[in-house]
């Protein structure tokens, strides 16, 4: 049973103790602006991340003046291990 909110296949479920009510599961396509700004996870390219939610969970990194939002706790260590690889430095 992996976290359904993250499709990147991470299996470390160390922080899944809090059962959140998934209020965003049935978000209509035109809800942009009501759920906050989104970004793309730099580790799992193509994975959308809601900035406010990521920040609330500590799933973000500030690197060289740029903030990056992560899709799940598993992406934090990956980003930390090689931020230059994930940061859009070019």
Residues within the interface to Zn ion (CB under 5 A): 6, 8, 44, 71-72, 74-75
Nearer to Zn ion, 9 or 36 (CB): 9
Nearer to Zn ion, 44 or 50 (CB): 44
Smallest distance, Zn ion to C-beta of residue 30, A: 26
Our CA angle for 73, 42, 60, nearest 5°, is 45
Smallest distance, Zn ion to C-beta of residue 26, A: 22
Q: Which residues contact 55 (CB under 8 A, 6 or more apart)?
A: 69
Q: Which residues contact 88 (CB under 8 A, 6 or more apart)?
A: 42, 66
> Looking at the chain, how many residues does it have?
90
Smallest distance, Zn ion to C-beta of residue 74, A: 5
Nearer to Zn ion, 46 or 65 (CB): 46
């Amino acid at each position: 049973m992996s976290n359904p909110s993250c499709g990147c296949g991470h299996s470390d479920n160390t922080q899944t103790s809090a059962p959140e009510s998934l209020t965003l599961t049935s978000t209509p396509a035109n809800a942009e602006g009501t759920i906050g700004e989104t970004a793309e996870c730099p580790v799992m390219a193509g994975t959308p991340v809601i900035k406010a939610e990521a920040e609330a969970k500590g799933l973000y990194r500030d690197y060289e003046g740029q903030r990056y939002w992560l899709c799940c706790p598993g992406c934090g260590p990956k980003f930390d291990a090689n931020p230059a690889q994930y940061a859009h430095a070019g």
